Structure 1
Amino acid sequence: MILYPAIDLKDGQCVRLYKGEMDQATVFSDNPAAQAKAFQDAGCEWLHLVDLNGAFAGEPVNGGAVEAILAETNVPAQLGGGIRDMATIERWLDKGLARVILGTVAVENPDLVREAAKAFPGKVAVGIDARNGRVATKGWAEETDVMVTDLAKSFEDAGVAAIIYTDINRDGAMQGPNIEATADLARAVSIPVIASGGVSSLDDLIALRDCGASLNGAISGRALYDGAIDLAGALKALKG
């Protein structure tokens, strides 16, 4: 199981939100590229990047910070937030991203997900963010009536590389991930599932790894910044 350190970008800084609320952001670094390099030096195999401003704006906002991260590191990185058309997808992949994450557009324009996954095999993931089992869009600001499993199943034949499932109520709250819902989703689809939201300890990571469903990985942010999870130690433990 891959551990993806999260770098959430707001106004050019590395932050973590509490339950997705933009006005409840804690700044952990004003140099995201240096933070990314530190994660790489600790041994991470991937980076998970989110353009928070972009998610609300519907277009990339923290592009400069993302480009600086890509210039400073050589591990693969995936990015979500404000990626809603083919031109933006192509531009980011040309700049060196390993994978783009399509969230809002997966609900509003699923044909784009299919088109992108076909054009860029292995480089398109779907981000499914949910409150109480229902998908939320536009930086989690808008709730839909779409159920998580229904949305995930609709992309079974699309060739997407992964589904990144976030339980919004757990995100940044340090209360542990929603293991049951994540495992249920992973069992329901053949697409690799990455868990996100609430991972706050090594025990959480081990519980996800051993949940009985085959998860591709887990994303952690605040716990790494707070020191609740030692990245190098966690990577070693997950391999063991």
Structure 2
Amino acid sequence: MGLRIYPAIDLKGGQVVRLRRGDMAQATVYSGRPQEQARSFAAQGFSWLHVVDLDGAFAGRPANAAAVEAILAAVPGVPVQLGGGIRDMRTVDAWLARGVERAILGSAAVKNPDLVRAACAKHPGRVAVGIDARQGMVAVEGWAEASTMTASDLARRFEDAGVAAIIYTDIDRDGMLRGVNLEATLALARAVSLPVIASGGVASLDDLAALSAVASEGIEGVVIGRALYDGRIDAAEALALVADR
């Protein structure tokens, strides 16, 4: 199994957007129909989707439910991992019951680690932890708040919890097309036995080649956003590259 590519659909006000460094004031709108974007990615051959409720991440509760449900209805055969605003078991249960394949717990992993453990026990293989870091330190509440914990320390907390994957985002690179932070991503993958999904800054096929070259060290996949939307990465070329590795 090569590196899995997760195309990103970030939702703000029901629209598909991309942010720069997580700044809600710097949103580029790409589509007003998230379900059509999902269909497009599925048609291009992607086997998973990475969906984020940006408003929900800041509000602490789901805020783009209608858009998420439209995506799920549009691509019934494509598994979706969803993050943003999932802070309690009731929300985890609800999304997984509605057809989300994997719920991503981010801020909750820092502030309520017991929830992560309980959710993993209740829904084996269907809970991921999103670790968003700025200069190596974990940020929470839609990246608006810094913590005093390193990404590796947080990941180690859940080594034995049954987490499906760690989604590691370098905030300073997210949406900036400056290249993936290979060094930090690889350091995290080596620090824990959990599969790591790289996110933030992916700008070209070179990034995919670099990640593919070290995928055997625990990097399971990569989230790609702006580079796909802007055409810097061609979907067919990207999928062919990771399939060849």
| Matched residue type, 2:86 | I
Paired residues, number: 240
**4, 7, 27: which one aligns with 2:6:** 4
Do the aligned partners of 2:178 and 2:201 also contact (CA within 8 Å) in 1? Answer: yes
Do the aligned partners of 1:49 and 1:80 also contact (CA within 8 Å) in 2? Answer: yes
What displacement does 1:181 show? 0.4
For residue 219 of structure 2, give the secondary structure of its aligned residue in structure 1. coil
Asked if 1:124 corresponds to 2:124, the answer is: no
- Report the TM-score when normalising by structure 2: 0.97
What displacement does 1:211 show? 3.0
**9, 18, 24: which one aligns with 2:20:** 18
Asked if 1:63 corresponds to 2:65, the answer is: yes
Q: Which whole-Å CA distance do the structure 1 matches of 2:21 and 2:211 have between them?
A: 20
Asked if 1:171 corresponds to 2:174, the answer is: yes
What displacement does 1:88 show? 0.4
**22, 30, 34: which one aligns with 1:32:** 34
Q: Which whole-Å CA distance do the structure 2 matches of 1:202 and 1:52 have between them?
A: 27
What displacement does 1:168 show? 0.1
Do the aligned partners of 2:173 and 2:179 also contact (CA within 8 Å) in 1? Answer: yes
Asked if 1:232 corresponds to 2:226, the answer is: no
For residue 127 of structure 1, give the secondary structure of its aligned residue in structure 2. strand
Do the aligned partners of 1:102 and 1:124 also contact (CA within 8 Å) in 2? Answer: yes
Do the aligned partners of 1:174 and 1:198 also contact (CA within 8 Å) in 2? Answer: yes
Q: Which whole-Å CA distance do the structure 2 matches of 1:182 and 1:125 have between them?
A: 16
What is the 5 A alignment of 1:130-149?
Answer: 130-149=133-152
What displacement does 1:214 show? 2.7
* Deviations 1:170-194 (CA, angstroms, capped at 9, x unpaired): 0000000100000010011111000
| Matched residue type, 1:184 | A
What displacement does 1:209 show? 1.2
- Report the TM-score when normalising by structure 1: 0.99
Do the aligned partners of 1:163 and 1:193 also contact (CA within 8 Å) in 2? Answer: yes
Unaligned runs of 5+ in 2: none
Q: Deviating runs (4+, > 4 A) in structure 1?
A: none
What displacement does 1:202 show? 0.8
For residue 9 of structure 2, give the secondary structure of its aligned residue in structure 1. strand
The match for 1:154 is: 157
Asked if 1:197 corresponds to 2:197, the answer is: no
What displacement does 1:225 show? 0.3
Q: Which whole-Å CA distance do the structure 2 matches of 1:138 and 1:18 have between them?
A: 16
What displacement does 1:233 show? 1.7
For residue 216 of structure 1, give the secondary structure of its aligned residue in structure 2. strand
For residue 176 of structure 1, give the secondary structure of its aligned residue in structure 2. coil
The match for 2:187 is: 184
Do the aligned partners of 2:194 and 2:218 also contact (CA within 8 Å) in 1? Answer: no
Counting aligned pairs with the same residue, the percent is 62
C-alpha RMSD of the superposition: 0.7
Q: Which whole-Å CA distance do the structure 1 matches of 2:95 and 2:229 have between them?
A: 26
